[in-house]
Structure 1
Amino acid sequence: MPKKVSISPSQWVIIIGLLAAASACYLLVQPYVNAIVMAFIISLLISPIHAWLEGKMPTHKNLTAFLSCTILTFIIVLPLTLVFMSIVNQGAVFSQNVYKWGTHGGIESVINHPLVIKVVSLINSYLPFDKINPQNIAQKLGQLAASLGTNLVGVSAKVLGDATNFLVNFFLMLFVLFFLLRDHDKIIYALRHVVPLSRSQEDKLLDEIEQVSKSAVMGSFLTALAQGVAGGLGMWAAGFPGLFWGTMLAFASFIPVVGTALIWIPASIYLYFSGDTGWAIFLVIWSIAVVGSIDNLLRPFLMQGNSGMNTLLMFFSLLGGLQFFGLIGLIYGPIIFAVTMVMFKIYEETFQNFLDDQDNS
């Protein structure tokens, strides 16, 4: 049974001062919190490699941490650079093809398709307001296609800015990662020392954070990667730029509810109206049977480390994290839920006698 601690007024001053100072420090590092959190999570993921290097060079902590960061750079930055260059090239070619298709009768051929005419006629027969005019839609789409080149310049500039921002954050993360790897034992010891929990409670909390961090990364990002690869192969077989659309499918997989359907449904419709009915059917079947099954089977398997969280809690942790924090929320959401559940377990153990008395009263 832990000893009761009485806190004097002077100690309350120290605690309040510490909280105020910690809040001020958080405001200073708040713009870089994502880089720090990602460094912590990546340190967990590459810990086996770093542990192996430390086993080979136990007295050279600076060198082993530097080598681990260098290996990570070669694993992530170089492949991403090559992929990014290919995506930009394929995206430019695709935009040129869309421009040619839209300005050389492609839109008119879709608008004048018998199925489109029947659907528009059916909709117009039930609309209580102004009727849909296919020619007006064709004109708007033509203007959009004509302005695609101008829009592409703006998008390219934004992408370039985002890529530059990514590199800055990546090297900041590497800087933090170096110290996390080098001083891992000291950091864990300091955290254990200042957190007023028993050793078993600290172990539960740290183990759950580590487990959930790994499974969140594996579950979200590896699933997106697998769906991007599978979807890209299907798009390539159907005649689209595989790498570009595979990347778009990977990003779309993060969007709740609709996911990759945001990409492959319009692509299938385009193939159908272009006369490639067989490839349209193939893409629908491939996307549902292969790409969709990856999300239904692989994600739950990779995220099974989230102990105590059922499918409903996992869904809301991902959905809420994505909405509140953005893409990084796919990691933050499960971690917040998991830590909350561990704290509930600690609360239940700590106040077990009181809770039992309440149940029996």
Structure 2
Amino acid sequence: MSKNLTKPFLLILVALVIVACYFIFRPFLTEIFVAAILASVFYTPYLRFAKFLHGRKKLAASLMCILLLVIIILPTIQLLAYTGQRSVVAYNATVVFFNEHNTNEIFQADFFNRGVLGYLHLSSYDLNSTTLQSTLLEIFKKSSNWLLDGATMALKGTTDFVVSLILVIIAMFFFFVDGQGMLKRLMRISPLPDKYDQTLFLKFRAVSYATFISTFVAAVAQGLVGAIGFAIIGFPALLAGILVALLSLLPYIGAALFYVPMGIYYLLIGNIWQGIFILIWGTMVISTIDNVIRTYMVKGEAEINPIFVLFSILGGVVMFGFWGVVLGPLVVALAVTVFHIYELEFCDMLEDREMGDEEEKVAVVNK
């Protein structure tokens, strides 16, 4: 074969092999990406395990995988079961409350009709007690059913989830053990300069770590303080903590979607101090701790605007299901990393354009 044809033939062969590998691995791409991301995020603790175990990498990787399984997966299954059960109990308790209390006194009181409805410009509408009760019960029923169905699917649809989980754990084990070698081989065959390969990996790892850890640590912390606050007013602490933690995955507005309606609810039924307390506790403690943790853990260049984190989580869940909570923000992290490299590559051109814009502005002013 002519030497002139060797490289084109080899490139075509490589392209065909990549396409074939894609179709082979396509059913498991989500699990592979999740495992790679988790291995990257927890690689530093793995190295510490390996050092403590005198370089026994496979043992360190096994312990790290077991630790993540015990700390994250098993508690999640228990919390899902508890949430599904408590959602039904909460709905039944709400029905009993409306049946036992004369809620006409709430909805027909002057402070409600003139104050709340007047402020919302709804006082002219026929919003009677029966209508509001049925509407609230319907909303609560749908929310409870959604929680129950979600928990049931997560727990009963065990076949696919368990297989997916096993694949993630196995892949994560090999990424821990051989990940560094894989990365070196990828960097060697990459067409990018070595400095960009290094920047791509380090920047992506920093953004991934900051986004993943800060988001989930903030959710756990908000869940804990939320449970404490609701326990003080007599609301089931574990259920409140779970709901606050889950909603806290949505930056800024997440926890408020729970404690604000609950505070208003307590005010409407006459439990004034409970309503005021939970609104103050939510604003001053639950929401504040989110900002404190993110500010402390997310360092400058590793920061992603929280609005992108919000939409990446929602979009990730729609696209990838359960694992989208991890994959969504990390895709955005990869985009941030790529744009950073683009900025480095074309910084001279960008600076020249900025200087040209400044010169045009000066020329316009001088005229």
- With the length of structure 1 as denominator, give the TM-score of the two structures: 0.80
Root-mean-square deviation (Å): 3.5
- Give the equivalent residue in structure 2 for 1:159: 151
1:71 aligns with 2:75: no
Which residue of structure 2 aligns with residue 3 of structure 1? Answer: none
TM-aligned CA deviation for residue 182 of structure 1: 1.7
Confirm or deny that 1:210 pairs with 2:210. Answer: no
Alpha-carbon contact 2:244-2:258 (below 8 Å) kept? yes
The alpha-carbon deviation at position 22 of structure 1 amounts to 3.0
Taking the aligned partners of 1:357 and 1:347, their CA distance within structure 2 comes to 11
Structure 2 residue aligned with 1:4: none
Indicate if the aligned counterparts of 2:84 and 2:147 stay in contact, CA closer than 8 A. Answer: no
Q: Is the 8 A contact 2:35 2:172 kept in 1?
A: yes
CA distance in 1, matches of 2:199, 2:14: 26
Residue of 84, 87, 105 corresponding to 1:91: 87
Q: Deviations over 1:153-172 (max 9, x none)?
A: 67424322124365443322
For 1:132, the equivalent position in structure 2 comes to 126
Partners of 1:339 and 1:296 in 2: how far apart?
27
Deviation at 1:263, TM superposition (A): 0.6
Residue number in structure 2 paired with 1:334: 333
Residue 316 of structure 1: how far off its partner (Å): 4.6
In structure 1, the residue matched to 2:32 is 36
Matches within 5 A, 1:280-299: 280-299=275-294
Alignment-mate amino acid for residue 22 of structure 1:
I
Other-structure match for 1:253: 248
Shift in CA distance, 141/19, structure 1 to aligned 2, threshold 3 Å: same
- Residue 176 (structure 1) aligned to one of 150, 171, 175: 171
1:273 aligns with 2:268: yes
Structure 1, residues 196-235: CA drift from partner, whole Å, max 9, x if none?
A: 2332222111111111111111121111111111112111
Aligned length: 344
The offset of 1:125, in angstroms, is 7.2
- The aligned counterpart of 1:113 is 109
1:196 to 187, 191, 196: 191
CA distance in 1, matches of 2:353, 2:279: 59
**1:251 Cα offset (Å):** 1.8
Paired AA for residue 159 in structure 1 = A
- How far, CA to CA, are the matches of 2:262 and 2:354 in structure 1? 60
Shift of 1:239: 1.6
Q: C-alpha separation between the residues in 2 aligned to 1:252 and 1:151?
A: 13
Structure 1 residue 277 displacement after superposition: 0.4
Cα distance per residue 1:120-167 (max 9 Å; x no partner): 76379778xx8333145235237638x94x985674243221243654
Give the counterpart letter for 1:288 in structure 2. Answer: T
Aligned to 1:141: 135
Partner Cα separation in structure 1 for residue 306 and residue 76 of structure 2: 29
Distance 1:24 1:106 in 2: 68
In the other structure, the counterpart of 2:320 is none
Q: Secondary structure at the match of 2:238?
A: helix
Structure 2 segments unaligned to the other structure (5+ residues): 318-324, 360-367
Equivalent position amino acid for 2:135 in 1: L
What SS is found at the alignment partner of 1:306? Answer: helix
My pick for the range that moved more, 15-24 or 236-245, is 15-24
- Are 1:80 and 2:71 counterparts? no
Find the counterpart in structure 2 of residue 318 from structure 1: 309
CA contact (8 A) 2:84 2:149 kept: no
1:83 maps to amino acid: L
> How many percent identity over aligned positions?
20
**How far, CA to CA, are the matches of 2:20 and 2:94 in structure 1?**
51
Query: Is 1:44–1:210's contact at 8 Å kept on the other side of the alignment?
Result: yes
Paired residues of 2:41 and 2:205 also in contact (CA < 8 A)? no
List alignment gaps of at least 5 residues for structure 1.
1-6
Q: Give the SS at the match of 2:301.
A: coil
Superposition deviation, residue 272 in structure 1: 0.8
Higher mean C-alpha deviation, range 85-94 or range 187-196: 85-94
The corresponding residue for 1:55 is: 51
